[in-house]
């Protein structure tokens, strides 16, 4: 200890370093939950891979909205924002929900109102690049998108759309889920010098999503989860599928049952793959001793880790399970 682990390498490693250094280079060192906030906010500012923070993943209306969650591993209290509009600092607003309300989740325009009341500045989250990307998507007949069972055919044309009755109660049991156009997320778990744990998640969600869509990131037990008595988990992938399994809650419970971190991660990935063979997922797990592992499906996944006296962040590559 201290110890930091998060989804993805590459542009996500500065977040690992920022969180780790907040625990080692300050006197007194910051708390685990502050380290999570610093790590995730670093990714938000850096617009990690275009999938975290402002200016990424515009929805059908070309607007970027944000999802974030932060969780205390001692009390199991959490704070989250979903569909946050016009506020850049999603993970910090989530922490305000945790520390200044008795709620767990605020959403949409009223989450924005809460943020403004707490001193955060409203601003346009779009950029010239995100607007241009959205226009290119529209010029390409809005492919791909997340509409199903509508007219005109969403596989060929833009909306506005109207629903078409399927005759099956609205559920096509032959559909096992389509891959999302984008689904990167930073999910981070921190252990401070005293062994106190915290976790957090931040993302701008799926590109070209239906306005109002909320992914797995701000959902406790899905995007991340931590119980300091046992360990923590972070997740990334096809969020609309993954949230059906609460994979991070399950992974931590697997640790409680005696599984190693690698076994705990692989078990939750296999649970998802059995129902959705094409799901893209990446899971990182660490127990409260600092032992860690990961598993993935549908892609080659990477995660970043730094702990103890490590002079730099290590990136671990995880092939998809067979």
pLDDT of residue 175: 42
293 labelled ligand-binding: no
184 labelled ligand-binding: no
95 labelled ligand-binding: no
Give, in order, the Cα–Cα distances in Å from 112 to each of 52, 118, 119, 259, 277: 18, 10, 11, 41, 37
CA distance 205 to 140: 21
E strands within 98-211? 105-107, 150-151, 162-163, 186-191, 197-203
Catalytic residue among 42, 64, 185, 302: 185
Measured CA angle at 10 (ends 260, 288), to 5 deg: 25
pLDDT in tens, 41-75: 999 999 999 999 999 999 999 999 999 999 999 99
CA distance 73 to 31: 12
Q: What is the pTM of this model?
A: 0.94
CB 6 within 8 A of CB 16: yes
108 labelled ligand-binding: no
CA distance 273 to 237: 12
pLDDT of residue 165: 81
Q: List residues bridging with 312 in a β-sheet.
A: none
213 labelled ligand-binding: yes
216 labelled ligand-binding: yes
User: How many alpha carbons fall within 13 Å on the CB side of residue 106?
Assistant: 23
pLDDT of residue 176: 43
Q: Is 185 a catalytic residue?
A: yes
Which portions of the chain are predicted below pLDDT 50? 170-177
pLDDT in tens, 67-107: 999 999 999 999 999 999 999 999 999 999 999 999 999 99
Host H or E run for residue 117: helix 108-117
């Amino acid at each position: 200890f201290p110890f930091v682990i998060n989804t993805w390498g590459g542009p996500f490693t500065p977040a690992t370093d920022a969180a780790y250094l907040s625990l080692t280079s300050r006197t007194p060192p910051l708390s685990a939950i502050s380290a999570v906030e610093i790590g995730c906010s670093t990714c938000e500012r850096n617009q990690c891979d275009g999938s975290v923070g402002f200016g990424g993943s515009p929805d059908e209306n070309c607007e970027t909205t944000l999802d974030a969650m932060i969780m205390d591993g001692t009390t199991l209290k959490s704070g989250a924002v979903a569909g946050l509009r016009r506020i850049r600092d999603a993970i910090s607003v989530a922490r305000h929900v945790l520390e200044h309300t008795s709620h767990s989740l605020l959403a949409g325009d009223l989450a924005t109102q809460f943020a403004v009341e707490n001193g955060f500045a409203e601003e346009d989250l779009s950029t010239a690049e995100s607007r241009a990307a959205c226009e290119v998507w529209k010029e390409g007949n809005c492919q791909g998108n997340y509409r199903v069972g509508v007219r005109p055919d969403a596989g060929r044309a833009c909306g506005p759309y109207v629903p078409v009755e399927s005759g099956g109660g609205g559920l096509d049991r032959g559909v096992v889920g389509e891959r999302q156009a984008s689904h990167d997320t930073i999910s981070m778990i921190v252990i401070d010098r005293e062994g106190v744990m915290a976790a957090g998640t931040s993302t701008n969600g799926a590109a070209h999503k239906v306005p109002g869509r909320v992914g797995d990131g701000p959902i406790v037990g899905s995007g991340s989860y931590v119980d300091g008595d046992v360990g923590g988990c972070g997740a990334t992938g096809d969020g609309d599928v993954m949230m059906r399994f609460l994979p991070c809650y399950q992974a931590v419970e697997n640790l409680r049952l005696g599984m190693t971190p690698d076994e705990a991660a692989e078990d939750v990935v296999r649970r998802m793959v059995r129902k959705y063979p094409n799901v893209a997922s990446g899971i990182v797990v660490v127990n409260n001793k600092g032992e860690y592992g990961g598993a993935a499906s549908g892609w080659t996944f990477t995660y970043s880790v730094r702990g103890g006296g490590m002079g730099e962040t290590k990136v671990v590559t995880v092939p998809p399970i067979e």
